Amino acid sequence: MEVTTRLAWIQERVLGKLLGNTTLTLLYKSGVHGSCTFDMAKKCCHQGSTMTVVHLEQDIVGIFMLEHFPILHSGKPSTCVLFAFKENNSTGISALFSNAQVEINVSQLKFFSPDGLSITVHPNKQKVHLNMEVLKKLELNLKSYSEYLECEIFRVDGVKNDPSIIKKMVDVKQHRRRFLSALRAYRPSGNLVSEVRILLVGPVGSGKSSFFNSVKSAFQGHFTRQAVVGTDETSITKQYRIYSVKDGEGGKTLPFMLCDSMGLDEREEAGLCMDDIPHILKGHVPDRYQFDPCKPIVPRHVMSPPMKDRIHCVAYVLNIKSVNSLSDKMVAKLKRIRRDVVDCGVGQVALLTNVDNCDEVLDDGFVNMSESVTSQSQIKKVQNMLNIPIANILMVSNYSQERSMDPIKDALIFAALGQMLRAADDSLEDLPFEN
């Protein structure tokens, strides 16, 4: 007798992705192990986080419990997530975060929360009760008291034991949407230019070109490789590139451009030439210009280029894992660039790449960076080295190995872009009138 879940394989994978990258292991199945809470508790206690999945005629409703499944005749508070697949939609899932009380006794398993959500499973009757609040919030078109076909309980392996992170996983899609809306609605300050130019500058291998690819990937919804990345003896990027970004496949061009440059090298006469920086900032360098570490560009124009060709924001791109071991020579180069940036009145941010645990970067409401992050030594170092306020030290995790998109990464990328655009606006507003 094989014991397998009633979930479709695709549904199982969708559930596994709901709270990060988790694996579901079936522990209890009512049709095999008995329709009573005694059997349920015996199989599911002391297993870690669980997901109780109730298969109705056409819908699937479930509850994730972060805390251990309760033993019989007991109750406990737990971080919970209520979710539903609607009417045979294999991939569309709605989810709700809640702090609930979970109780189990001889006749029922009950979840209820202070904000009015309540779900009760009656195994011996094979019925589930969902109160009006649950039906409304999960957008289910059901009677509140329904007979179910099967109840299955899974252990959830690989989930983070942190209620704050669970909440972020559940809420991330709406925040991603909010950040994306802000980017779509963005217009450069004062209508002085139609597009803002953001310069990416930083050491070889810090993730500049990879950041552009990640931005494009986040908008497209699939992985993109327009900028070549990888490793070699010197910078892979040897040309100056001005990349525009479209709002999705076949979408409109967004009002900002990312300018990618050759990587900095701590050695003299290697990497991006320091004398090229002012010319880049003033807009003298054309797209696809081939950098030469030993010979700066000789601009053709004597006249000032128009405002639209200038750089409006500089992002110093640093690998967070290398920040604490930057050589003195590299720091000196970065400081020299900063002086040029300040002289030209350009906005600036620092962009830390290769961040682990990107679900911990922003606070619960995805408004500010969380305190545990801002107190990291790398942040302090960048703040002191470049004299950049913490609000303009941004953190992302570029797409590099994943085979599918991650809404948390998208949200961080969109939030970072938003902050760059604000820095650009600050510099545009600060311009002398005669320009």
Partner 1 sequence: MAMRTRLTWLQEKCLQNYFGGKRLCLLYKASVQKFCEQDLLGKCWNHGPTMVVLNGENCVVGAYLREGFQKRETYITLFALRETEVSECLIGPHLPALLFYDAETSDCIPGFHIVLNEKKVTISSEICKKLGLPPQHSPMFIQDCETFRCEELLDERMTRDIAVIQNNLLQALRTYTPYGDLVPQARILLLGPTGAGKSSFVNSVKSVFRGSITHQALVGCDIDGVSDKYRTYPITYRDDGHPLPFVLCDSMGLNQKAGLHVDDIDSILKGHTPDRYQFNSMKPITPNHPNYIHDSLLKDTIHCVVFVFDVSSIEHLSYGLVAKIKRIRRALIKSGILHVVLLTHVDSLDLITKGDLIDICSCEPVKLKLEAVHRDFGFAFSDILVVSNYVSEWYLDPVKDVLILLALKQILYTVNDFLEDLPLNKQVSEEKYSNVCRKKRK
Instruction: Catalog residues that contact partner 1 under the rule CB under 8 A.
Output: 1-5, 7-10, 25-27, 32-33, 42-43, 46-48, 90, 155, 157, 210, 222-226, 228-232, 236, 238, 287-288, 399-403
To the nearest whole angstrom, how small is the minimum distance from the Cβ of residue 206 to partner 1? 14
State whether residue 336 is helix, strand or coil.
helix
The whole-angstrom separation of Cα 160 and Cα 165 is: 7
Structure tokens belonging to residue 417: 């872009």
Q: Considering only CA atoms, which of 275, 273, 274, 301 is closest in space to residue 286?
A: 301
How remote is the C-alpha of 255 from its chain's centroid?
Answer: 22
For partner 1, the closer of residues 46 and 300 by Cβ is 46
Q: What is the DSSP-derived secondary structure letter of residue 369?
A: B
To the nearest whole angstrom, how small is the minimum distance from the Cβ of residue 149 to partner 1? 16
To the nearest whole angstrom, how small is the minimum distance from the Cβ of residue 341 to partner 1? 27
User: Please, are residues 360 and 373 in contact by the beta-carbon 8 Å criterion?
Assistant: yes
For partner 1, the closer of residues 48 and 278 by Cβ is 48
For partner 1, the closer of residues 157 and 292 by Cβ is 157
| Ramachandran category for residue 87: left, alpha or beta (phi over 0 → left; psi -120 to 50 → alpha) | left
Q: Which residues of 345-381 are buried (b: 16+ CB within 10 A; e: fewer)?
A: bbbbbbbbbbbeebbbbbeeebeebeeebbebebbee
For partner 1, the closer of residues 91 and 174 by Cβ is 91
To the nearest whole angstrom, how small is the minimum distance from the Cβ of residue 399 to partner 1? 7
To the nearest whole angstrom, how small is the minimum distance from the Cβ of residue 223 to partner 1? 6
User: Please, are residues 189 and 313 in contact by the beta-carbon 8 Å criterion?
Assistant: no
For partner 1, the closer of residues 90 and 435 by Cβ is 90
To the nearest whole angstrom, how small is the minimum distance from the Cβ of residue 251 to partner 1? 12
- What Rg, from alpha-carbon coordinates, does the chain have? 26
For partner 1, the closer of residues 356 and 402 by Cβ is 402
